[in-house]
Amino acid sequence: MKCSEVKFNLISFINKELSGQENNEIQNHLQMCNDCKNEHDLLIKTYDLLRTAENPEPSEDFLLRLHQKIEQEESKKVSEKLFLRMVIQRVKESFSSSLIETSIKVVSIVLIVLFILGAIIPWSTQETVYAFENWNISKMKNTKEISVSYFFLNISFENEEGRPFLKFRVGSSQDLF
């Protein structure tokens, strides 16, 4: 075995982690090679020195503090569970009515919001009246006075041929001109 190989395996040799044959080879080498023998002795002394390192005791209240942490964590978990249960209960209550009822509610809310939006958008007074009096897009298209508007809301209940037809459109007023 070469010196470099022996030196690399010295730690395993000291810790008796080598096979019988490798162990014997290194032992024989150490008897002949002073350089490797010195390296081996130095390594053992380093081990011995490191093993004299202090082993301080943990604080006396280590376990007590740990118990406190566990208790805190468990009470936090319980309150989180309670909160989650409460939220689920509330959501269940609010959705207890039938699906149709809920959909009607949602649609009405959306319509109201859109109507309010339409009212607060900065149309000029005249144009606002015109826009809300005439739900027909074509008329609005011909109106050249409308200059500044951002959205339009168009709901018509009959198409151009006079047949019943529901049309609902929201968009930028730029689409109109």
**In the block, residue with structure tokens 């118990």:** 67
Packing angle of the helix pair 99-120, 125-133 (nearest 10 deg): 150
Q: For residues 7 and 36, what is the distance between their CA atoms, to the nearest angstrom?
A: 7
Could you say which residues in the range 37-56 bind another protein, by CB under 8 A?
A: 42-43, 45-47, 49-56
CB of 55 to another protein, least distance (A): 5
Out of 32, 57, 133, 144, which residue is the one contacting another protein (CB under 8 A)? 57
Residue 65 binds to another protein (criterion: CB under 8 A):
yes
Parallel/antiparallel/unpaired status of strands 151-158 and 164-172 = antiparallel
Phi, psi of 149 (to 5 degrees): -160, 150
Residue 175 binds to another protein (criterion: CB under 8 A):
no
CB nearer to another protein: give 64 or 106: 64
CB nearer to another protein: give 28 or 72: 72
CB of 16 to another protein, least distance (A): 11
CB 116 within 8 A of CB 97: no
Q: For residues 56 and 59, what is the distance between their CA atoms, to the nearest angstrom?
A: 9
Q: For residues 153 and 116, what is the distance between their CA atoms, to the nearest angstrom?
A: 11
CB nearer to another protein: give 69 or 141: 69
CB of 80 to another protein, least distance (A): 14
# residues near another protein by CB under 8 A:
27
CB nearer to another protein: give 8 or 150: 8
Quick one: which of 145, 153, 147, 150 has its CA closest to 169? 153
Per-residue binder mask for another protein (CB under 8 A), 67-86, x = binder: --xx--x-------------
Residue 19 binds to another protein (criterion: CB under 8 A):
no
- Please state, as a whole number, how many other Cβ atoms lie within 10 Å of the Cβ of residue 29: 19
The footprint of another protein (CB under 8 A) covers: 8, 11-12, 17, 42-43, 45-47, 49-59, 62-63, 65-66, 69-70, 73
